[in-house]
Structure 1
């Protein structure tokens, strides 16, 4: 009798520890994501499909308003002891959580999984989410930077569509030819200083960020930091990084092919493109879900132009990460397996949101669907061998934030190049010094 009582007491204790999962009360998995409305709908589709496939398994989608909101929510919930079970995050931002041991290593679960094998995924993305020799997250996509362009507008003005092998000079020439006033006449260079009063359609949209400048530097054979694994500073003071930065910030004041800062504040580039007031846009795969709602014109994607002598892309990859403080780790893992397994990858790829990290799915009709734009989706797969990534040190998000403010002033205000490079160095060196490397 005493043995039976002890066994029952032990079972009660186990049931009460850490929200343990039982077959009678399956745990609800809380998944933290952010995105545009069309992106969030893609994740709702995935969650609904998982519930059907897993006999009613429950996943609660926690929707942040933007990336900053997601990081704030995640940080606050971890500090408060009630984190989500799974969160979706870009490799550039997860290091701050990995350095604090807030992300659960997945190696043991992966070794036992019959659904997900790292060998089935692109190595560029699995490596991006490895921290101190451990696999921390499961990457869902292997996107890269591409040029979205308005095919209807190109045809209207008799301009050849961009092809593989085109150059930075080709991009500038094309963007100049597509920067037009309300009468349809080309607006050149400093003539565009009048802003929206003179320019009705801009030739190009691009964010003044490190992840837009980096591919140009790499294409020219340069580096943006002194050590890609354990960086201590930027290297824009050395050619060819300096030249690439110079030509990037010339897009606004020298060529007048991108909108002013006031115009971007009033209407962001994605909206401007959707409304037919932007001919080309540099962006990753994530905008595809939004652009598939466009009805007024045809659009497609082209590869990034070569700034130097080699093709260079930059990794855009998000992954599902399990928090170490999750109280439903087994249930969270089952969802992650489904999401990264072939069926989950096919579902999310069909929404347009991702370039699947699963190599076989990325080469299947689920992604390369000729009936859905972009027709030239192969561009993203062709870019995979050229993809490089920025460092994943714990303070990289802070470094990007500081750099963005400096690059904004350079692009829109025309700050002197020497001052820009000096500011990038002086304002980020202390942040580099605080960083923890993977």
Structure 2
């Protein structure tokens, strides 16, 4: 269009000795075809009011330039609410044309025919899946040799530490093992020294608090060279009783179970590790990037981040959040157009600036829109490095049921007083997990023959 307009202008500027000849004008006998009406699309998201507002801003930017669709945001408070809606979707409550989903929901989405693979559609729209995106995120949402949803954000587990309770400069002056500047990595010895330094019995401050759950222990099992799940696709058991996993637990549990260093069972019943951290009563907790905005809002709290401490290797857990295209949308072309826009760097920046997510788009992840160098945490680059060590769990039909089935035993592993029976408890946890991951098939007795 621009070349054509330029050519027209150039011709209009030419002149010679001949008089211009006007072309005859024929009377108009037809009118220009009316533009097609825009289709209505919905974007399903979840999150805090600030997150939802960012998605709405992104959608307004798209609606301002789109000729074929108008997008409306439909929001839920959290992922569980959105998944519950999807489970009961029908003609009256349809699946959003484009919607956010956790990688852990992918099995459910595929089994119920709720998502449509997006690789070919986005390739047609020149979306580059090469170095521009985290390879782990791309692989995380790939199944059956297709990209099932467009990876949008990644959520590695990292360590958050109170910089008033954990002061590495003071530790180094006292000859204690401490990470060296720029404080972007540490090992088990340095972690142990830090949480011991942070514990202040006289003020009621604990050194460390870890959720006594399978998710809470998993990063340490992996960092110690162990495995959370057994072999097999899908796995038929947890693997906490394996030699490597027990060895990893044997190194970290003495710290997590030390009553001089950690929150008591009564304190954990009263409030979560996050709440105690917000009160300035815990030196180190573990969690995803989404904690950052709330922590920034706590008056007087100063914090930074480090990766999960290396025990025998660098590893952590995490999740990938994708934007999925509904398999039921009657407007696949328009929905794919919007998905391509939402995945662009400029669109991702709008949501990233809220501080809640680690973008899979590397251009944005390495920019100040994510790193936000004037805000806490100072070392936000830790999130990007943690992505490279993130171990994604296998696809499971119902992780929540598994977690619930082993919760009591895992809690005893972390919180039970006295001597720990590590071998016995881990064996029981793995056996309990098999009831969910590999339930016994009921035997069917053969029907008696008519002659009997």
Category of TM-score, reference length = shorter chain: 0.7 to 0.9
Please state how far the C-alpha of 1:291 moved relative to its aligned partner: 1.6
Gaps of 5+ in 2: 1-34, 173-177, 441-452
Q: Counterpart in 2 of 1:132?
A: 144
Q: In the superposition, relative to structure 1, how do residues 53 and 228 fare at CA in structure 2: closer, same or farther (>3 Å)? A: same
Write the distance in 1 (CA, Å) between the matches of 2:56 and 2:386: 29
Q: Counterpart in 2 of 1:85?
A: 97
8 A Cα contact 1:92 1:392, kept in partner: yes
Q: Please say which structure displays the higher CA radius of gyration.
A: 2
Give the counterpart of 1:411 among 414, 425, 436: 414
Say whether 1:169 aligns with 2:174: no
Please state how far the C-alpha of 1:418 moved relative to its aligned partner: 3.3
For CA contacts below 8 A with separation 6 or more, give which structure has more relative contact order: 1
Q: Counterpart in 2 of 1:54?
A: 63
Q: Counterpart in 2 of 1:41?
A: 50
Give the counterpart of 2:199 among 161, 179, 192: 179
Please state how far the C-alpha of 1:28 moved relative to its aligned partner: 3.6
TM-score (norm 2): 0.78
Write the distance in 2 (CA, Å) between the matches of 1:256 and 1:334: 56
Is the deviation greater in 349-358 or in 376-385? 376-385
Matches within 5 A, 1:12-411: 23-33=36-46, 35=47, 37=48, 40-55=49-64, 57-64=70-77, 66-77=78-89, 82-115=94-127, 117=129, 119-155=131-167, 158-159=170-171, 162=179, 163-181=183-201, 183-184=202-203, 200-227=204-231, 229-308=233-312, 310-411=313-414
The structure carrying a bigger helix percent of its residues is: 1
In structure 2, the residue corresponding to 1:55 is in which secondary structure?
Answer: helix
8 A Cα contact 1:137 1:319, kept in partner: yes
8 A Cα contact 1:252 1:260, kept in partner: no
Write the distance in 1 (CA, Å) between the matches of 2:90 and 2:210: 34
Write the distance in 2 (CA, Å) between the matches of 1:62 and 1:49: 14
In structure 2, the residue corresponding to 1:89 is in which secondary structure?
Answer: strand
Write the distance in 2 (CA, Å) between the matches of 1:99 and 1:358: 28
Is the deviation greater in 138-147 or in 333-342? 333-342
Q: Counterpart in 1 of 2:20?
A: none
Is the deviation greater in 408-417 or in 339-348? 408-417
TM-score (norm 1): 0.80
In structure 2, the residue corresponding to 1:139 is in which secondary structure?
Answer: strand
8 A Cα contact 1:95 1:395, kept in partner: no
